[in-house]
């Protein structure tokens, strides 16, 4: 996917940096994820959940999502991070690096998928994705203040106080 997001002009004069999606239409993403078990989360060995440039989510049966972030200059000299989601057909195509599995404490079945959205100064930015599971557990991957990096929040962790901006400035928009 592009390392930047094309800025869309809104009728009210503002700008929108949308989620980049490949391999499925946005209207079908929630149905594709709902009811699937999240089996594993992989990042390249030199990366961590606090700063990842590539994330592979593995669902049953044999469905993979690749998550990355794009960094786009939208206002003055400010970069804004957006989420890229690609549904991979078949086995995940991985780079030649070593991978590390981030562990989950229990079986996680997706009940809802959401876009993590930041809005301010006439700009709307689809900064991340959040998956909700039973019993209030969540997983999120949201652009951080490092261009191109994602901050992952694992199901057993509390939500962070800040991603690229303070967490209180974000909203969660259901993917229908």
Closest CA to 90 of 53, 55, 115, 63: 63
Q: Which residues are bridge partners to 122 per DSSP?
A: none
Give tens-digit pLDDT for 105-152.
788 999 999 999 999 989 999 999 999 998 889 999 999 989 999 999
Give tens-digit pLDDT for 58-117.
998 889 999 999 998 877 768 899 999 999 866 555 556 677 787 777 889 999 999 999
Q: What's the pLDDT band for 168 if we cut at 50, 70, 90?
A: very high
> Average pLDDT of 158-175?
92
Task: Report pLDDT for 94.
Answer: 53
In whole angstroms, what is the distance from residue 65 CA to residue 22 CA?
A: 10
């Amino acid at each position: 996917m592009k390392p930047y997001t094309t800025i869309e002009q809104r009728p009210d004069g503002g700008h929108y940096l949308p989620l980049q999606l490949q391999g499925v239409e946005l209207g079908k993403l929630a149905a594709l994820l709902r009811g699937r078990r999240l089996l594993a989360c992989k990042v390249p060995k030199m990366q961590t959940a606090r700063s990842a440039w590539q994330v592979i989510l593995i669902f049953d049966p044999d469905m993979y999502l690749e998550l990355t972030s794009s960094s786009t200059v939208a206002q003055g000299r400010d970069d804004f991070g957006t989420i890229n989601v690609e549904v991979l057909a078949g086995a995940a195509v991985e780079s030649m690096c070593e991978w590390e599995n981030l562990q989950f404490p229990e079986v996680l079945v997706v009940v809802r998928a959401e876009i993590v959205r930041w809005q301010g100064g006439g700009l709307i930015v689809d900064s991340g994705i959040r998956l909700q599971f039973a019993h209030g557990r969540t997983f999120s991957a949201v652009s951080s203040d490092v261009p191109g990096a994602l901050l992952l929040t694992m199901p057993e962790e509390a939500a962070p106080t800040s991603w690229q901006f303070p967490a209180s400035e974000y909203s969660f928009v259901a993917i229908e």
